[in-house]
Chains A and B, each alone.
Chain A
Amino acid sequence: MAHPELHNMSVAELALALRNKQVSAVETAQHFLQRIDAHKALGAFVDLNAEATLAQARAADAALAAGTAGPLAGVPIAHKDIFVTRDFATTAGSRMLKGYRSPFDATVVARMGAGVGHGVPSGPAAAAAGAGMVTLGKVNCDEFAMGSSNENSAIAPIGYDTPEPVRNPWNTSRVPGGSSGGSAAAVAACLAPAATGTDTGGSIRQPAAFCGITGIKPTYGRASRYGMIAYASSLDQAGPMARSAEDCALLLSAMCGPDPDRDSTSLDTPAEDFSASLNAQLKGLRIGIPKEFFGEGLSADVRAAVDAALTRYEALGAQLVPISLPRTELSIPVYYIIAPAEASSNLSRFDGVKFGHRAKDYTDLVDMYKKTRAQGFGDEVKRRIMIGAYVLSHGYYDAYYLQAQKIRRMIADDFQQAFQSCDLIAGPVAPTVAWKLGEKSDDPVANYLADIFTLPASLAGLPGMSLPVGFGEGGMPVGMQLIGNYLSEARLLNAAHQFQVAHPEFHTARPEGTA
Chain B
Amino acid sequence: MSTAKLVQGYEVVIGFETHAQLSTQSKIFSRAPTAFGAEPNTQACAVDLGLPGTLPVMNKGAVERAIQFGLAIGSHIAPRSIFARKNYFYPDLPKGYQISQFEIPVVQGGQVEFFLGDEKKTVRLVRAHLEEDAGKSLHEDFIGQSGIDLNRAGTPLLEIVTEPDMRSSEEAVAYAKELHKIVTWIGICDGNMQEGSFRCDANVSVRKPGGELGTRREIKNLNSFKFMQQAIDYEVRWQIDQIEDGHAIQQATVLFDPDTGETRSMRTKEDAADYRYFPDPDLPPLVIAPEWVERVRAEMTELPRVMAERFVRDYGLPEYDATTLTQSKAMAAYFEAAVALCKQPKLVSNWVMGEVSRRLNADEIGMDQVPVSAARLAALITRIHDSTISNNAAKEVFDALWNATGAQIADTGALSVVDDLIESKGLKQMNDSGELEKIIDEVLAANAKNVEEFKAGNTKALNGLVGPIMKASKGKANPAQVNELLKKKLGA
A and B touch in the complex (CB under 8 A): yes
A97 to B96, CA, bound (A): 17
Interface residues of A in 321-357 (CB under 8 A from B): 341-342, 344-345, 347-349, 351, 353-355
Q: Is the CB of B278 within 8 A of A90?
A: no
Q: Is the CB of A100 within 8 A of B52?
A: yes
Q: Is A48 an interface residue (CB 8 A)?
A: no
Q: Is the CB of B274 within 8 A of A394?
A: yes
Q: Is B49 an interface residue (CB 8 A)?
A: yes
A228 to B276, CA, bound (A): 24
Question: Which chain B positions have C-beta within 8 A of A232?
Answer: 281
Closest to B92 in A: A353
Question: Which chain A positions have C-beta within 8 A of B270?
Answer: 366
Q: Is B53 an interface residue (CB 8 A)?
A: yes
Q: Is B452 an interface residue (CB 8 A)?
A: no
Q: Is the CB of A348 within 8 A of B96?
A: yes
Q: Is the CB of B278 within 8 A of A351?
A: no
Complex partner residue of A226 from B53, B58, B278, CB under 8 angstroms: B53
Q: Is the CB of A345 within 8 A of B96?
A: yes
Question: Which chain B positions have C-beta within 8 A of A265?
Answer: 55, 281-284
Q: Is the CB of B97 within 8 A of A345?
A: yes
**Chain A: minimal CB distance from B275 (Å):** 9
Consensus secondary structure, chain A interface: loop
Question: Which chain A positions have C-beta within 8 A of B456?
Answer: none
Complex partner residue of A264 from B51, B55, B97, B148, CB under 8 angstroms: B55
Q: Is B15 an interface residue (CB 8 A)?
A: no
Q: Is the CB of B52 within 8 A of A84?
A: yes
Closest to B88 in A: A348
A245 to B57, CA, bound (A): 34
Question: Which chain A positions have C-beta within 8 A of B278?
Answer: 341-342, 345, 392, 397, 401
Stretch from A102-110, A302-310, A423-431, A475-483 contacting the other chain: A102-110
**Chain B: minimal CB distance from A362 (Å):** 12
Q: Is A239 an interface residue (CB 8 A)?
A: no
Question: Which chain A positions have C-beta within 8 A of B54?
Answer: 226-227
Known A-B contacts A233-B281, A262-B55, A342-B281; the reply to A349 vs B273 at CB < 8 A is: no
Q: Is the CB of A351 within 8 A of B89?
A: yes
Q: Is the CB of A104 within 8 A of B94?
A: no
Q: Is A261 an interface residue (CB 8 A)?
A: yes
Complex partner residue of A392 from B50, B53, B276, CB under 8 angstroms: B276
**Chain A: minimal CB distance from B236 (Å):** 31
Question: Which chain A positions have C-beta within 8 A of B52?
Answer: 84, 90, 92, 97, 100, 102, 229, 349, 355
**Chain A: number of interface residues, binned into ranges:** 35 or more
Q: Is the CB of B58 within 8 A of A345?
A: no
Known A-B contacts A229-B53, A394-B274; the reply to A234 vs B148 at CB < 8 A is: no
A366 to B269, CA, bound (A): 10
A32 to B160, CA, bound (A): 60
Q: Is the CB of A264 within 8 A of B282?
A: yes
Complex partner residue of B284 from A90, A97, A264, A351, CB under 8 angstroms: A264
Question: Which chain A positions have C-beta within 8 A of B167?
Answer: none
Complex partner residue of A394 from B31, B94, B273, CB under 8 angstroms: B273
Closest to B52 in A: A229
Q: Is A225 an interface residue (CB 8 A)?
A: yes
Q: Is the CB of A392 within 8 A of B87?
A: yes
Q: Is A294 an interface residue (CB 8 A)?
A: no
A123 to B148, CA, bound (A): 28
Q: Is A365 an interface residue (CB 8 A)?
A: yes
A314 to B376, CA, bound (A): 94
Q: Is B289 an interface residue (CB 8 A)?
A: no
**Chain A: minimal CB distance from B3 (Å):** 38
A100 to B56, CA, bound (A): 22
Known A-B contacts A264-B55, A348-B87; the reply to A104 vs B274 at CB < 8 A is: no
Question: Which chain A positions have C-beta within 8 A of B95?
Answer: 348-349
Known A-B contacts A264-B58, A265-B284; the reply to A102 vs B51 at CB < 8 A is: yes
Question: Which chain B positions have C-beta within 8 A of A226?
Answer: 53-55
Q: Mark B365-386, 1 if CB is under 8 A from A, else 0.
A: 0000000000000000000000
Q: Is A230 an interface residue (CB 8 A)?
A: yes
Q: Is B207 an interface residue (CB 8 A)?
A: no
A90 to B276, CA, bound (A): 29
Q: Is the CB of B53 within 8 A of A102?
A: yes
Question: Which chain B positions have C-beta within 8 A of A227?
Answer: 53-54
Q: Is the CB of B57 within 8 A of A263?
A: yes
A84 to B283, CA, bound (A): 21
B interface size (C-beta, 8 A): 32
Consensus secondary structure, chain B interface: loop
**Chain A: minimal CB distance from B331 (Å):** 41
Closest to B273 in A: A394
Q: Is the CB of A349 within 8 A of B274?
A: no
Q: Is the CB of B46 within 8 A of A103?
A: yes
Q: Mark B89-109, 1 if CB is under 8 A from A, else 0.
A: 101001111000000000000
Q: Is B199 an interface residue (CB 8 A)?
A: no
Q: Is B19 an interface residue (CB 8 A)?
A: no
Question: Which chain B positions have C-beta within 8 A of A233?
Answer: 281-282
A392 to B276, CA, bound (A): 5
Q: Is B85 an interface residue (CB 8 A)?
A: yes
**Chain B: minimal CB distance from A150 (Å):** 20
A89 to B138, CA, bound (A): 32
Question: Which chain B positions have C-beta within 8 A of A342?
Answer: 278, 281
**Chain B: minimal CB distance from A370 (Å):** 10
Of listed B31, B95, B282, residue having the most chain A CB within 10 A: B282
**Chain A: minimal CB distance from B104 (Å):** 14
Q: Is A389 an interface residue (CB 8 A)?
A: yes
**Chain B: minimal CB distance from A353 (Å):** 5
Interface residues of B in 22-50 (CB under 8 A from A): 31, 46, 49-50
Q: Is the CB of B53 within 8 A of A106?
A: yes
Known A-B contacts A262-B55, A341-B278, A355-B52; the reply to A349 vs B46 at CB < 8 A is: no
Q: Is the CB of A345 within 8 A of B91?
A: no
A392 to B54, CA, bound (A): 23
Complex partner residue of B276 from A260, A355, A389, CB under 8 angstroms: A389
A265 to B89, CA, bound (A): 26
Complex partner residue of B283 from A97, A264, A348, A355, CB under 8 angstroms: A264
Q: Is the CB of B57 within 8 A of A261?
A: yes
Question: Which chain B positions have C-beta within 8 A of A263?
Answer: 55, 57
Question: Which chain A positions have C-beta within 8 A of B57?
Answer: 260-264
Question: Which chain B positions have C-beta within 8 A of A228?
Answer: 53
A162 to B330, CA, bound (A): 71
Question: Which chain B positions have C-beta within 8 A of A34?
Answer: none
Q: Is A393 an interface residue (CB 8 A)?
A: yes
Question: Which chain A positions have C-beta within 8 A of B46?
Answer: 103-104
Q: Is the CB of B282 within 8 A of A103?
A: no
**Chain B: minimal CB distance from A121 (Å):** 10
Interface residues of B in 105-125 (CB under 8 A from A): none
A92 to B53, CA, bound (A): 11
**Chain A: minimal CB distance from B375 (Å):** 47
Q: Is A173 an interface residue (CB 8 A)?
A: no
Q: Is the CB of A345 within 8 A of B50?
A: no
Q: Is A279 an interface residue (CB 8 A)?
A: no
Question: Which chain A positions have C-beta within 8 A of B274?
Answer: 393-394
Question: Which chain A positions have C-beta within 8 A of B85?
Answer: 345
Q: Is the CB of A349 within 8 A of B58?
A: no
Give the B-binding residues of A (Cβ under 8 A).
Answer: 83-84, 90, 92, 97, 100, 102-104, 106, 122-123, 225-230, 232-234, 260-265, 341-342, 344-345, 347-349, 351, 353-355, 365-366, 369, 389, 392-394, 397, 401
Given contacts A228-B53, A234-B281, list 18 more A-B pairs with CB under 8 A.
A100-B52, A102-B52, A103-B51, A123-B31, A264-B55, A265-B281, A265-B283, A345-B278, A348-B87, A348-B89, A348-B96, A348-B97, A349-B52, A349-B95, A354-B94, A366-B270, A369-B89, A389-B276
For this complex, 25 residue pairs linking A to B, each with C-beta atoms less than 8 Å apart, are A100-B52, A102-B51, A226-B54, A233-B281, A234-B281, A264-B56, A264-B283, A265-B284, A344-B87, A345-B87, A348-B87, A348-B89, A348-B96, A348-B97, A349-B52, A349-B94, A353-B94, A354-B50, A355-B51, A355-B52, A365-B91, A366-B270, A369-B89, A392-B276, A397-B278
Closest 5 CB pairs of A and B: A348-B96, A233-B281, A234-B281, A392-B276, A227-B53
